[in-house]
Amino acid sequence: MTQTATQTSARDAIVLKLYDLFRRRGFEAVALSDISEATGLGRSSLYHHFPGGKDEMAIAVADFAHAWVEENLFQPLHADGELPTKISRMLDSASDMYEGGGAPCLVASMMISPSMSPDLGGTLKAIIQGWIGALRDALIASGMAADEAGRRATAAVVAIEGALIVSRACGDRKIFSAALAQTGKALRAPA
């Protein structure tokens, strides 16, 4: 039992390092030598934790990201409470996830890979669809019509993701924070 817990925590620590590496450089640009350098592990140790190689590492990173957004973005939207509070919590978590507009989006970084596995693609798709769905459900629960809730939820995620790209390209985090504030207003506006 202790050995399994140690192996799990060691693997989790590796996944955290891989998460940062993959989101900042993308799947294709990361070589096994980069992974070894980032984790401090040799090839055999990496294959011990990830027998499927780099593809398995990418799936583990996507699963980690999916679990994180589930807990920090989706669950606050499903929690009891008033809509403005739910939206504020979601936007605060998005700001934390993207380091106030300074860190890239894992989904965007990984989606540019032409050799992405179907499993990885499915998890990345689930992250975005889950975010839109959780937001749509929160808007519906507050009394908004389903069609309008769906439009606003989709527009909100598009605005956040787009603002992240523009903010990073311009080197100006104020673009991202302004977009989050505007998105919050649009989501809270009466239908």
Tens-digit pLDDT profile for the chain (191 aa)?
A: 334 444 557 888 999 999 999 999 988 888 899 999 999 999 899 999 999 999 999 999 999 999 999 999 999 999 999 999 999 999 999 999 999 999 999 999 888 877 778 888 899 999 999 999 999 999 999 999 999 999 999 999 999 999 999 999 999 999 999 999 999 999 999 87
Q: Is 79 left (phi over 0), alpha (psi -120 to 50) or beta?
A: beta
pTM > 0.85: yes or no: yes
Identify the domain containing residue 139 by its residue range.
2-188
What's the pLDDT tens digit per position in 110-166?
A: 888 777 788 888 999 999 999 999 999 999 999 999 999 999 999 999 999 999 999
Q: How far, CA to CA in Å, does 173 sit from each of 91, 102, 158, 159? A: 15, 6, 17, 14
The residue length of the chain stands at: 191
Domain total in the chain: 1
Rounded distance between C-alpha atoms, residue 23 and residue 69, angstroms? 15
Nearest C-alpha neighbor of 138 from the set 65, 69, 187: 187
**pLDDT (0 to 100) of residue 7:** 54
Q: Is the dihedral of CA 18, 20, 23, 25 positive or negative?
A: negative
**pLDDT (0 to 100) of residue 169:** 95
- Name the one residue in this structure whose structure tokens are 């055999």: 44
Rounded distance between C-alpha atoms, residue 2 and residue 26, angstroms? 34
Cβ atoms within 10 Å of 14's Cβ, excluding its own: 22
What CATH number does the domain containing 68 carry? Answer: 1.10.357.10
Structure tokens at 146: 């389903």
Rounded distance between C-alpha atoms, residue 134 and residue 146, angstroms? 12
